[in-house]
Structure 1
Amino acid sequence: MRMTATGMLILMAGIFLLSGQYLDTHPAWGFVHAFAEAAMVGGLADWFAVTALFRHPLGIPIPHTAIIPENKDRIADTMAGFLRENFLTAPVVARRMRDMNLARGIGNYLADPNAEATSRVRAGAGELLVEVLESLDPDRLGGQVKAGLAAQLERMKVAPLLGQMLSAMVADDRHRPLVDSAIRWAGLVVEDNEDLIRTMIHERANALLRFTGLDERLASSVLDGLYRLLAEVLVDPNHPLRQKVEEGLSELARNLREDPELQARVEGMKNELLANPALGDWWQGVWERMRAGLIDMLKGGGSAALSGQVGDSLAEMGKALRDDARLQTQVNRFARRTAVGIATRYGGQIVQLVSETVKRWDSETVTSRIESAVGRDLQFIRINGTLVGGLVGVTLHLLGQLLV
């Protein structure tokens, strides 16, 4: 575009010189001469104006030229202030986010497994994830995660939480499968330890019972009674023993929520467990196995592993975001609050980063980047200035002819 605008200026200069030689031959040459003359003036004026924005015209340090390089710091501060006042304020961010259905857009993006862009994202995500996992220091990261979990657990009151969970389970009858499993487990324990139970009964029976052999019958009766009791409790949901168990669970849940002494004991047990080095070693091993297993999976299957497992999970999540209006509302509300919070807390730091970045650029970098962004349109100014100047010249020449 710069060559086009300069070429037009040179063309007007050639027409001006050529038409000046034929002014006496025909009146029309006067209009051509006036057009070319005024077009040169307009083109030169706009060339000077456009060039003066970025550099000194012809290298001559004329005052008020090279405006952008000379005022680089002021432009950076003005740009930062403009961003802060018009984009990174809480009302503006909230208004823009309120008009966006970000959750549905993300859902549509993730739910389409055949989209080329999504496939590239999934394939690239696998390679990126492998590089990140391999670059992490396992001991340091595992220690950081362990310390973070320990800090969160130390602040968390476990007893009331357990009480609420247990109360909810009892209220919704979700405890019954657990009670059934405990009864079956008790039956297996008795079955696996029949010999031990018989031996205990034999040892505690008196000599008369052992002499008459009644101790063996007593042991069999005890075992049969245990099996029968467990079977009755298992098949009868209204069995008194089961009701006693449920009453005990309800009482335990209430004490966990309300009894300070029990809460203190639970907190003490929690702190002892967290302070146990064996727990830290266990977590370190779990983290390292998770990391190594994920690396092996991604390396072994490449992008297909991510596409087949993580990718399917992403697609399912995308469908939920795309189709569930309530979930969209929750996600959009969370995203809006997050964006507003970031703008409120860190808006000043963001615009300061913009300002300091521009200030660190040298004058040539600032000039080249701004000129590459808007230079094409500025060359249109030169072209328009040449054409408009020519039309003004023709108009003035016509008025001069009419008034003479």
Structure 2
Amino acid sequence: MSPLPRAGFDVAPAGLVRMRLVATGLLVGMAALFLAARALVPLHPAWGFVRAFAEAGMVGGMADWFAVTALFRHPLGLPIPHTAIVPRNKIRIGDQLAQFLRENFLVTHVIARRMQRLDVAGAIARWLTDPPEGAGGRFRAGASKLVAQALDALDPQRFGGLVQAAVANRLRETEVAPVLGQLLKAAMAEGRHQPLIDAAIRWASSALADNDHLIRQLVHDKAGTILRWTGLDETVANKLIDGLSGLLADMGTDPEHPLRRRAENGLDQLAWDLRFDPAMAARVEQVKAELIANPAMQRWLEGLWEQARAGLLAIARDPERAMAGRLGDVLRQIGETLRDDRRLACAINRFVRRAAVGAATDYGDGIVRLVSETVRSWDTQTITRRLENAVGKDLQYIRVNGTLVGGMVGLVIHAVDVALG
């Protein structure tokens, strides 16, 4: 089995290494003190107490070293029974840990009770309306960096193609004619079509003024020889141009002009045809299909994703600026709504609670299997190193305490022995 990638628990903490040296050094010191006291006992009886203290401390330290080491490996590499407890039971440890999670954390009523006390909507409202300087800033910075990296990692061509295809498919599936007919009807009901007619009239007047020479040339070419010889073609052209100019001027100033009324009737009929005439709907769909297939439209659709991506990147890379603009105003308004509308807040909290309970119900067994299979997949060195590092220096304190407590017990026993002797 391959070991896990290196993580925080794969490297021994500095405190653990230091305490391991202290415990080992204390044991070595007790051994040295025992040898020295044993040699000095004939010089003075007090050295007997020192020897008893060092001897018992050495025994206690050795016993606790054996006990601590036996949890994770064979002491001195010897296959002593009931040692290397953790590596030998890693499968059972994984199963028990997974079962512990299942029975104590991934239980629906436990999650529901815990979520009942959480005001998720209130927390979101407080963060949006008054984000904390420290945590909020770090959160925005971290989230913005993550979003920016994710956007940079996306393949513009591939993802842009997906966006283009999605928008194009959505346009193909949408019946445009009824929508256009409804929009035109609503615009006419509110009189918003009048500026369109006025603009058309102004455009026609401008086009007539800019192209009067074409009209004169047309009349001259169509006129007979006699009209051209007498110069009447120029008179006819002037009358025609003046008549058209006057007609357009009257249409522009008279809202009740007959031709203007006919234009409005034509727009009203167009709105009806767009909504109810199958032939008109078919023609609109054909035009829509041709527009979608047009290379220019395809290029525009391709640019949609890149434009959206550029905008999102700009927001992600400068979240404070974005929060200070219109986006920030919108988010703050959302926060105020969540803060003031208790019904909405309760609905959001209820949704979050049900989502958490549903996730535990749907994926609890999967999480349990993941924990169990992950621990099973660890090699013995990995699980030993990680558990030992997770427990930390407390095990080494056991060795230190065992050495000192053993020494004190040996000192008491020696004192009792001297008193009784």
Is residue 2:359 matched to residue 1:359? no
Partner residue in 2 for 1:103: 124
Aligned partners of 2:358, 2:170: CA distance in 1, in Å? Answer: 23
Aligned partners of 1:174, 1:97: CA distance in 2, in Å? Answer: 53
The partner residue of 1:376 within 375, 389, 393 is 393
CA drift of 1:401 comes to 7.0
Aligned partners of 2:24, 2:188: CA distance in 1, in Å? Answer: 83
Aligned partners of 2:33, 2:205: CA distance in 1, in Å? Answer: 114
Partner residue in 2 for 1:52: 70
Give the letter for the 2:380 counterpart: S
Runs of 5+ unmatched residues, structure 1: 204-209, 233-239
Partner residue in 2 for 1:387: 404
Aligned partners of 1:401, 1:266: CA distance in 2, in Å? Answer: 117
- Confirm or deny: 8 A CA contact 2:34 2:55 kept in the other structure: yes
Aligned partners of 1:10, 1:316: CA distance in 2, in Å? Answer: 68
CA shift digits 1:202-239 (9 cap, x unpaired): x9xxxxxx99x99778645643442124499xxxxxxx
CA drift of 1:52 comes to 1.1
Partner residue in 2 for 1:22: 41
CA drift of 1:61 comes to 0.8
SS of the residue aligned with 2:392? helix
- Confirm or deny: 8 A CA contact 2:73 2:87 kept in the other structure: yes
Q: How many residues are aligned here?
A: 370
Give the letter for the 2:390 counterpart: A
Structure showing greater Rg: 2
Aligned partners of 2:100, 2:266: CA distance in 1, in Å? Answer: 68
- Confirm or deny: 8 A CA contact 1:112 1:315 kept in the other structure: no
Aligned partners of 1:270, 1:70: CA distance in 2, in Å? Answer: 74
Q: 1:359 to 1:218 in 2, by over 3 A?
A: same
Partner residue in 2 for 1:82: 100
SS of the residue aligned with 1:188? helix
- Confirm or deny: 8 A CA contact 2:198 2:252 kept in the other structure: no
Q: 1:360 to 1:401 in 2, by over 3 A?
A: same
Mapping of 1:178-197 within 5 angstroms?
178-179=192-193, 181-194=195-208
TM-score using structure 2 length: 0.61
SS of the residue aligned with 2:81? coil
Fraction of identical pairs, as percent:
36
Runs of 5+ unmatched residues, structure 2: 1-18, 220-234
Give the letter for the 1:223 counterpart: L
- Confirm or deny: 8 A CA contact 1:110 1:318 kept in the other structure: no
- Confirm or deny: 8 A CA contact 1:126 1:306 kept in the other structure: no
Aligned partners of 1:156, 1:320: CA distance in 2, in Å? Answer: 33
CA shift digits 1:281-325 (9 cap, x unpaired): 43124435666x669x97xxx99x736755655765665566552
The partner residue of 2:59 within 24, 29, 41 is 41
Give the letter for the 1:366 counterpart: I
Provide the alpha-carbon RMSD of the alignment.
5.7
Is residue 2:284 matched to residue 1:284? no
Partner residue in 1 for 2:318: 306
Partner residue in 1 for 2:25: 7
CA drift of 1:56 comes to 0.4
Is residue 2:89 matched to residue 1:71? yes
Give the letter for the 1:362 counterpart: D
Partner residue in 2 for 1:207: none
CA drift of 1:393 comes to 4.2
CA shift digits 1:252-303 (9 cap, x unpaired): 7xx97xx897998799679847974655443124435666x669x97xxx99
TM-score using structure 1 length: 0.63
CA drift of 1:19 comes to 4.7
Partner residue in 1 for 2:251: 226
- Confirm or deny: 8 A CA contact 1:55 1:69 kept in the other structure: yes
- Confirm or deny: 8 A CA contact 1:103 1:332 kept in the other structure: no
Q: 1:141 to 1:220 in 2, by over 3 A?
A: closer
Q: 1:111 to 1:15 in 2, by over 3 A?
A: closer
SS of the residue aligned with 2:63? helix
Give the letter for the 1:64 counterpart: H
Give the letter for the 2:403 counterpart: T
Give the letter for the 1:103 counterpart: I
Aligned partners of 1:392, 1:340: CA distance in 2, in Å? Answer: 55
Q: 1:111 to 1:394 in 2, by over 3 A?
A: closer
CA drift of 1:369 comes to 2.1
Q: 1:221 to 1:188 in 2, by over 3 A?
A: closer
Q: 1:344 to 1:189 in 2, by over 3 A?
A: farther
CA drift of 1:345 comes to 4.0
- Confirm or deny: 8 A CA contact 2:164 2:305 kept in the other structure: no
CA shift digits 1:83-115 (9 cap, x unpaired): 444444555555555525452575489775998
Give the letter for the 2:149 counterpart: L
Q: 1:266 to 1:46 in 2, by over 3 A?
A: farther
Aligned partners of 1:28, 1:66: CA distance in 2, in Å? Answer: 39
